[in-house]
Each structure stands twice: as structure tokens, then as C-alpha cells.
């Protein structure tokens, strides 16, 4: 089936939004997730929003036997691979867990894909692979380096995908480097549901606005930026979800070129693509936008810089535009509005 996609980690924050976009674009999806950082309720809500059941399998990407059962039961066009652990601080404390889950897990998935001759993959990479960028905006040819095990695990997977593409030219491996995904589905039904006190800025601001947390600590106001606070390229999660649909459509189109002509190779090899808006927003600018949208005061204090943070980071988006025909459409106000709608409708997340 050309339109059947395996979505690993599809119960998570970005995966759940992408499931909706995939369904709306006519793709049939099978979600495979061990629920280590997500809830079955997310899938129930996605199913409710699209008005159709979703095939969900609870399983781990490190479990080759369980993966084989899934590949035995379905003929996939490709895999969108979200499954992974993502907390930078936790990765420093538990590097083996992160390398095992993110790197070994991906190797197991790629081995099973090889067995079943499914050679189209869209991988969730991150702007973190660029480390501290030398120039802005960051394009896909920028040097890569990482300072923590989470980032290293993403970079290592990218190296594995590059080597795989060289070893066997029938692979198409798109590595989508996300900048800072924020926001929620406009229905307010699905969104980001951090387990603990959030590490990331947007969920932290949102929990201060709703009164769950007392005040925001802003990590540094002495960066060489517009107002001294860090600058990031925040991207709405529904725009990001649409980027995955565009990546699959691109693969489908490339692979269909010269169809039937066995002398032609249409696979795309390893292709890294940034998904961002191309615009930088400072921490203070985001706080002010959120405060305006929510009509809540957001108390904050400046504290020292957070170890490992960089001053500024925003994407060059021309590859996404030129190759995938994709562009982010939603504004910072949209991102704040949708986050706020999700937050007030679900003060305790999915629980």
C-alpha cells in the first residue's frame, strides 16, 4: 500500500498532531508507541478528532520481534520515526538509557525495515545537532556538534542514516531538523503534556499563566540579542505536522519519477531539512505575547544562564520551501493562543 505509514512515537506530542495531518492528507496510519512518555488518551482524542479509529500497537522500537509482527501484518510505504526520549537534563544523568533508546532503538527499527524492504524513513532530528551556530540563519550544510547525550543521540542517528544511504542507494532517509515546536491543536483537545515541571519555555510560561507555577526563571539577560534574552525559532506544532506530510508527498513524487524504468534510481538518499519559521523570537517577546493572549500576568525573574544554552538559533527555511513546497504559516500569537486553549481546557494534561 503506497499510502500506509508506520508512525513510531505517534502517541507523543508531535506524533499525535502529525497523525491528524496524515489522516487528513489521505494516509493510512498505524501507531507504534511504548507509552513511556505519552498517554493512550492522546490516541483516543486523535481518533475522536478525525472521526475514525486508529490502529494503535503498544510496543517498543527496541523489540525486533514485536516490530516484525507489525511489518508482517501491514505493507508500509514508509515509517515516520518520532519514538525517542527527549529531555536534555535527563540524558546527562542517564546517557546509557538515551543511547539505548534513541540509537539502539533506531538501529533495530532500521534492521527490521531492511528485512521487509521498507526503505523510506522520515526521522525526527533537531536543531540541537547544530550546537552553537557560527552563522544565522542556520542552513543544512552548517557544521554539526553536540554537547549532551540527547543531542549526540540525534547526531549519531543522522550519521547512521548517512552511512546507510551510502551503503544502499535504495534508501530514502529524510532527517527533519525541528527548531522549537510549541502550540497545540486548535481544538484544545491535544497538546504537550509534560510529565513533570516543564524544562521547555512555552509549557513553563503556560503553567505560570494558569497559576500552577509561581514564576518563570529567565535563564540569562546578557546574551548579544535584541533584549539580552535567548532567541529561538518557535514553530507551531500543526505547521510542523504538515511538514511531515510534505516530506512524504515529496518522497512519493520522487520515487514515482521514471516508474518502471529499472535503470533509474529515484530514491533520495540522506536528506536533512530544517523545519522552522526562519524568524527568531526572544524569551521576553514570547512572555509578552503569551501575557497578551492569556490576559494573565506572567511573573518572572532573571537568573544565570543555563549550562549548554546558546544565544540565538533560527532556521534557513529555503530547503523546506524549495524541495518540499512547505512553509510555516502560523504566528507567535497563534502559538500562544493554541497553547493557552489547551492549557485551560486540560490543566492536568491528559489525566
Least Cα distance to 220 among 156, 284, 172, 292 occurs for 284
Shortest Cβ distance from residue 166 to ligand NAD (Å)? Answer: 23
Which one of ligand NAD, ligand UDP, none interacts with residue 84, CB within 5 to 8 A by kind?
Answer: ligand NAD
Q: Based on the shown chain and the rule CB under 6 A, indicate whether residue 12 belongs to the binding site for ligand NAD.
A: yes
Give the whole-angstrom CA distance, residue 331 versus residue 117.
40
Question: Which grid coordinates are listed for 12?
Answer: 507523543
- Under DSSP, the state recorded for 291 is H
Which one of ligand UDP, ligand NAD, none interacts with residue 206, CB within 5 to 8 A by kind?
Answer: none
Give the whole-angstrom CA distance, residue 175 versus residue 153.
13
Which one of ligand UDP, ligand NAD, none interacts with residue 290, CB within 5 to 8 A by kind?
Answer: none
Is the bond into 137 cis (omega within 30 degrees of 0)?
A: yes
Site track for ligand UDP across 259-288, x = CB under 6 A: ------------------------x-----
Q: Segment 174-193, which members bind ligand UDP (CB under 6 A)?
A: 180
Q: Segment 47-76, which members bind ligand UDP (CB under 6 A)?
A: none
Nearer to ligand NAD, 40 or 48 (CB): 40
Give the whole-angstrom CA distance, residue 87 versus residue 342.
22
Q: Based on the shown chain and the rule CB under 6 A, indicate whether residue 99 belongs to the binding site for ligand UDP.
A: no
Burial of 301 (0-12, 13-18, 19+ CB in 10 A): exposed
Q: Based on the shown chain and the rule CB under 6 A, indicate whether residue 201 belongs to the binding site for ligand UDP.
A: yes
Phi then psi for residue 15, to 5 deg, are: -60, -45
Q: Give CA angle at 306 (155, 287), nearest 5°.
A: 105
Q: Based on the shown chain and the rule CB under 6 A, indicate whether residue 84 belongs to the binding site for ligand NAD.
A: yes
Using the contact rule CB under 6 A, the part of the chain among 23-31, 36-44, 156-164, 166-174 near ligand NAD is: 36-44
Rg of the chain on CA atoms, in Å? 20
Site track for ligand NAD across 158-197, x = CB under 6 A: --------------------x--x----------------
Phi then psi for residue 269, to 5 deg, are: 70, -145
- Under DSSP, the state recorded for 266 is -
Q: Which of 32, 98, 150, 300 is catalytic?
A: 150
Known catalytic residues are 150
Q: Point out which residues bind ligand NAD (CB under 6 A).
A: 8-9, 11-15, 33-38, 60-62, 82-86, 101, 105, 124, 126, 178, 181
Amino acid at each position: 500500500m503506497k499510502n500506509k505509514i508506520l508512525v513510531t512515537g505517534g502517541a507523543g506530542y508531535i506524533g499525535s498532531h502529525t497523525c491528524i495531518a496524515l489522516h487528513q492528507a489521505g494516509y493510512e496510519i498505524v501507531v507504534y508507541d511504548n507509552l513511556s512518555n505519552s498517554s493512550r488518551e492522546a490516541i483516543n482524542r486523535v481518533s475522536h478528532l478525525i472521526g475514525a479509529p486508529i490502529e494503535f500497537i503498544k510496543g517498543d522500537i527496541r523489540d525486533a520481534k514485536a516490530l516484525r509482527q507489525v511489518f508482517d501484518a501491514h505493507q508500509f510505504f514508509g515509517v515516520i520515526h518520532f519514538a525517542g526520549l527527549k529531555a536534555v537534563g535527563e540524558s546527562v544523568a542517564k546517557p546509557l538509557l538515551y543511547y539505548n533508546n534513541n540509537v539502539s532503538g533506531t538501529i533495530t527499527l532500521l534492521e527490521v525495515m531492511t528485512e521487509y524492504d521498507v526503505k523510506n524513513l522520515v526521522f525526527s532530528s533537531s536543531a540541537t545537532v547544530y550546537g552553537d551556530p557560527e552563522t544565522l540563519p542556520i542552513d543544512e550544510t552548517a557544521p554539526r556538534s553536540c554537547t549532551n547525550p540527547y543531542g549526540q543521540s540525534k547526531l549519531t542517528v543522522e550519521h547512521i542514516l548517512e552511512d546507510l544511504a551510502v551503503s544502499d542507494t535504495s534508501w530514502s532517509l529524510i532527517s527533519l531538523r525541528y527548531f522549537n515546536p510549541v502550540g497545540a491543536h486548535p481544538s484544545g483537545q491535544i497538546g504537550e503534556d509534560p510529565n513533570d515541571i516543564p524544562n521547555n519555555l512555552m509549557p513553563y510560561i503556560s503553567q505560570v499563566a494558569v497559576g500552577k507555577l509561581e514564576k518563570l526563571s529567565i535563564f540569562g539577560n546578557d546574551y548579544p540579542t535584541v533584549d539580552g534574552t535567548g532567541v529561538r525559532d518557535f514553530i507551531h506544532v500543526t505547521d510542523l505536522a504538515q511538514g511531515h506530510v510534505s516530506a512524504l508527498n515529496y518522497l512519493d513524487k520522487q520515487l514515482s519519477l521514471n516508474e518502471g524504468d529499472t535503470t533509474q534510481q529515484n530514491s533520495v538518499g540522506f536528506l536533512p531539512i530544517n523545519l522552522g519559521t526562519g524568524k527568531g523570537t526572544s524569551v521576553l517577546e514570547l512572555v509578552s505575547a503569551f501575557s497578551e493572549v492569556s490576559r494573565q500576568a506572567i511573573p518572572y525573574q532573571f537568573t544565570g544562564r543555563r549550562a549548554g544554552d546558546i544565544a540565538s538559533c533560527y532556521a534557513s527555511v529555503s530547503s523546506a520551501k524549495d524541495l518540499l513546497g512547505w512553509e510555516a504559516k502560523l504566528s507567535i500569537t497563534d502559538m500562544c493562543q493554541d497553547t493557552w486553549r489547551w492549557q485551560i481546557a486540560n490543566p492536568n494534561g491528559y489525566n
